[in-house]
Amino acid sequence: MATKTVIRQVSEHVGETVSIGSWVNNKRSSGKIQFLQLRDGTGYIQGVIVKSEVSEEVWDKAKSLTQESSLYVQGIIREEPRSASGYEMTVTDLDIIHITENYPITPKEHGVDFLMDHRHLWLRSSKQRAVMVIRAQIIRAIQEYFDTNGFTLVDPPILTPTSAEGTTNLFHTKYFEEDAYLTQSGQLYMEAAAMALGKVYSFGPTFRAEKSKTRRHLIEFWMIEPEMAFTDHEESLKVQEQFIAHVVQSVVKNCRMELEAVGRDITKLENITAPFPRITYDEAIEYLHTQEFDIPWGEDFGAPHETAIAERYDKPVFITHYPAGIKAFYMKPDPNNADVVLCADMIAPEGYGEIIGGSQRIDDPELMEQRFKEHDLSTDAYQWYLDLRKYGTVPHSGFGLGLERTVAWICGLDHVRETIPFPRTLYRLYP
């Protein structure tokens, strides 16, 4: 009986006969030899079938294989320096599980809508697989950073009675007799958790009913939200740059093959080390005016503004001290200038836009109550949030990283739809 293995581990079986559960990615034949391009999810290997060395039955079975047919393939693993993986299999036998007919995704070009309709199959392609492997490594690196730097993982709720980031893009649902919303951000709950545990982070799905059809927006996306007690804005920026540098370098170190499969320029990623450049909102406005943008002070930046600013740097850049009027109600005003708040957006290089939004939070109960009134938020609904300021308030800061935008940047993808297995984009819920 041949040992069962996976393609990732063939290096441990050189010279042995093994069996691998696999799919046919592609196939070519030269009359006397058939070459099977096989994949099993863990990697790719070429199976070589020599007509003179196998029975007629095995030769004919191989001939009947089509793209995406499934089989157990048996053969001897050989080192093969000319192949990308370094190994090849000399096929001795095969058990067909299923012959696929008319696989819809062929090696030719397909339109985006067609691919999105077939996302469940598109995921099998080598580029999409590589993106998923990199996404998993990014998640591992994120957890590694926080777990080894004194943060405790805390899970905020998904169903919430109030909004955290403004009321315009809430997903509404009924919670028995009450109204409820899918969470836009776990931040407010993470602030409560920070007062209980010191340094905390969450990792979960968030939802925004945004009618934005851009390459940066998803309706459902995953956010990582650290929150730190006894931490000011400046200290938070230091955590952010170290954290992002760790994540990028971890992918560079562990996913070289996958980065090559997605066509990423790895030298650009190797360069991502702390510290990151910083400019204030005021400086950014001044610069934009020199670049023929006529954006007035007090207006929020759109994608073209962010891109113009980021183009000046080869690392992510922090834009700090935005006007209070365009930022969330909970951000702490700058003690030196109450018109702006102690916040920063981290803008990724190469036009990938904002990947992190963060700030120091208001810790003064009276100012917080005043903000509720200004923003027309019911003090009843947020009473618990006010309690955090009433009982042992402390300076604290936190931020939120958008996972999919981070994956898009690290993989060098044009659109966030390829960064998540089953994207929820404007008006698309299938598959």
Q: Which of 226, 357, 398, 402 binds Mg ion (CB under 5 A)?
A: 357
Stretch that binds Mg ion, among 37-45, 223-231, 254-262, 354-362 (CB under 5 A): 354-362
Instruction: Name the minimum Å distance from CB 384 to ligand 4AD.
Output: 17
Two structure tokens written together for 126: 């080598």
Cα separation, 47 vs 199, whole angstroms? 51
Give the gyration radius of the chain's Cα atoms: 26
Question: Could you tell me the two tokens for 315?
Answer: 């690392």
Cis ω for the linkage preceding 275 (within 30 of 0)? yes
- Cis geometry, peptide bond prior to residue 431 (ω within 30 degrees of 0): yes
Grouping H, G, I as helix, E, B as strand and the rest as coil, residue 241 is helix
Residue 306, contacted partner among ligand 4AD, Mg ion, none, CB below 5-8 A by kind: none
**If binding is defined by CB under 5 A, does position 47 make contact with Mg ion?**
no
Q: Where are the alpha helices (DSSP H) in 91-232?
A: 112-117, 119-122, 126-147, 187-197
Could you tell which of ligand 4AD, Mg ion, none binds residue 185, using a CB distance below 5 to 8 A set by kind?
ligand 4AD
Instruction: State which of residues 324, 355, 407, 410 lies at the interface with ligand 4AD (CB under 6 A).
Output: 355
Rounded Cα distance, 218 and 407, in Å: 13
Q: Where are the beta strands (DSSP E) in 230-379?
A: 278-280, 317-320, 333-334, 337-341, 343-348, 353-360
Q: Which helix (H) or strand (E) holds 307?
A: helix 303-310
Report if residue 187 touches ligand 4AD, rule: CB under 6 A: yes
Question: Dihedral of CA 218/220/226/227: which sign?
Answer: positive
Stretch that binds ligand 4AD, among 35-43, 60-68, 125-133, 353-361 (CB under 6 A): 353-361
User: Of the two residues 5 and 184, which places its CB atom closer to Mg ion in the complex?
Assistant: 184
Q: Which CB atom, from 119 or from 396, has the smaller least distance to ligand 4AD? A: 396
398: contact with Mg ion by CB under 5 A: no
Shortest CB 103 distance to ligand 4AD, Å:
31
Instruction: Please report how close the Cβ of residue 409 comes to ligand 4AD at its closest, in angstroms.
Output: 10
Edge to edge, the sheet with strand 178-182 lists 159-160, 178-182, 171-175
Q: How far is the CB of 165 from Mg ion (least distance, A)?
A: 8
| 217: contact with ligand 4AD by CB under 6 A | yes
Name the CA dihedral angle for 318, 321, 327, 330, rounded to a multiple of 10 degrees: 110
Is residue 402 a contact residue for Mg ion (CB under 5 A)? no
Residues 397 to 416 in contact with ligand 4AD, rule: CB under 6 A:
398-400, 402, 404-405, 416
Cβ neighbours, 10 Å, residue 183: 27
- Amino acid occupying residue 54: V
Asked if 395 contacts 359 with a C-beta cutoff of 8 angstroms, the reply is: no
Residue 43 found at the interface with Mg ion (CB under 5 A): no
Using rule CB under 6 A, residue 356 touches ligand 4AD: yes
Name which of 61 and 217 has its Cβ closer to ligand 4AD: 217
Q: How far is the CB of 136 from ligand 4AD (least distance, A)?
A: 18
Rule CB under 6 A: say whether 316 interacts with ligand 4AD. no
Residue with Cβ nearer Mg ion (73 or 279): 279
Strand, helix or coil at 367?
Answer: helix
- Which residues of the shown chain bind ligand 4AD in the complex (CB under 6 A)? 164-165, 185, 187, 208, 210, 217-218, 221, 223, 225, 354-358, 398-400, 402, 404-405, 416
- Which residues of the shown chain bind Mg ion in the complex (CB under 5 A)? 357
